[in-house]
Amino acid sequence: MIWGSASEFFAMGGYALYVWGSYAVTSVVLAAELWLLARRRRTLLARLGRSLNAARNPSQ
Amino acid sequence: MAFRIWRFAAPQVFYPIAGKMIPWFMAVAAVLAALGLYIGFFVAPTDFQQGEAYRIIFIHVPAAWMSMFIYLVMAFWCAVGLVLNTRLSFMMALALAPTGALMTFIALWTGSLWGRPTWGTWWVWDARLTSELILLFLYIGFLSLHAAIDDVRRADKAASLLALVGAVNVPIIYFSVQWWNTLHQGASVSLTRAPSMATTMLAGMLLMALAAWAYSIAASFMRVRSIILERESDADWVRNLSEVKSP
């Protein structure tokens, strides 16, 4: 094991801001992309479903 | 022809196949990233010059590689679309662009956070950094031009031309550290000579690169499936999809 303790790990030899700043922003950006992709699909399917129902039941 | 690969160029054939492959690529990405991060943070030694700051490499290099590679794949599909006029090619190119832009942003962001402790500056207008920034603008330009034209077919063609012209920037990024005297270091890994880094560092970086590949494939497949549904929303096969009938 290369780290003496957990605090040593999080300190990253004094480079915590740079190392964790890189990893944090990358995680946030990737999570945001996946969330946006899931939302796009959800809203699209809901819209397609609504227009399909409207075409089948024109009286409503 | 025993194996008709063109069959997969039909959106209604590709849509369910991509859907089945997404969870697998996501799982592979998660496993490889977990392994790569474990090696990167708990096995790879401290760098004797840069201390712990070098651990940014495990996202910086894979993201930078993906940013260039995705652009080439995108330009390839643009070329296929322009020559063969295949619908799915343009959709694939459009699906790749946002993920490529994201990878470019990550490469620039992590590079900036790496440059500050090692070079003493967040940003410098050297050839490598400037050409990578131009890559981000090319992705944004591709997406903006596509969004600005109402007619989808014309948008596909115009944006594809832009993507193809911009492809000249990718070799410029890659060779910038050789062609110009840059602050950015040269390649640590190349096909022609032994890598200039510790084996465990290299292993962590390559695992993260493979994870970035799997993630990018999964994300662009997710996006292309939405694009297919949007563009084919009037087709019978879309109306008959179980997820459309009962969302």
Q: What's the pLDDT tens digit per position in A22-44?
A: 999 999 999 999 999 999 999 99
Best mutation target, A7, A12, A37, to test chain B (most B CBs within 10 A)? A37
Do the domain assignments include residue B9? no
Answer whether residue A8 is part of any domain. Answer: no
Using CB atoms within 10 Å of the CB of residue A31, give its burial: 0 to 12 exposed, 13 to 18 middle, 19+ buried: exposed
Residue type at B28 in one-letter notation: V
What is the per-residue pLDDT for A59? 63
Q: Where are the alpha helices (DSSP H) in chain B?
A: 11-38, 57-84, 87-119, 127-148, 152-166, 169-179, 199-231, 236-239, 242-245
Contact with chain B for residue A1, Cβ under 8 A: yes
Rounded CA separation B207/B219 (Å): 18
Count of domains for chain B: 1
Rounded to whole angstroms, the Cα distance separating B17 from B26 reads 15
CA distance A28 to A26: 6
Could you tell me if residue B180 is inside a domain?
yes
A57 in a structural domain: yes
The Cβ of residue B39 has, within 10 Å, a number of other Cβ atoms equal to: 20
Residue at A47 is within a domain: yes
Q: Residues with Cβ < 8 Å from B172, sequence gap 6 or more?
A: B127, B131, B179
* Distance, CA of B74 to CA of B54 (rounded, Å): 31
CA-to-CA dists, residue B37 to A34, B41, B50, angstroms? 20, 6, 19
Residue that has been written with the tokens 């270091």 in this structure: B185
Asked, for residue A60, whether it belongs to a domain, the answer is: yes
What's the one-letter identity of residue A6? Answer: A
Q: Is residue A14 part of a domain?
A: no
pLDDT in tens, A4-17: 899 999 989 899 99
Give the pTM: 0.93
Q: Is residue A42 part of a domain?
A: yes
The C-alpha of B1 sits at a distance from chain A's nearest C-alpha, in angstroms, of 36
Residue A59 in domain? yes
Is the CB of B233 less than 8 angstroms away from the CB of A29? no
- For residue A41, the chain B residues in CB contact (below 8 A) are 222, 225-226
pLDDT value at position B186? 77
**Structural domain total, chain A:** 1
Expressed as residue numbers, the domain containing B122 is 32-44+53-233
With CA atoms as reference, the chain A residue closest to B244 would be A49
Contact B102 A33 (CB under 8 A): yes
- Residue spans of chain B under pLDDT 70: 1-7, 190-195, 246-247
Instruction: State the residue range of the domain holding A56.
Output: 29-60
Instruction: Tell me, yes or no, whether A10 lies in a domain.
Output: no
Task: Give how far B232 is from chain A: nearest CA, Å.
Answer: 11
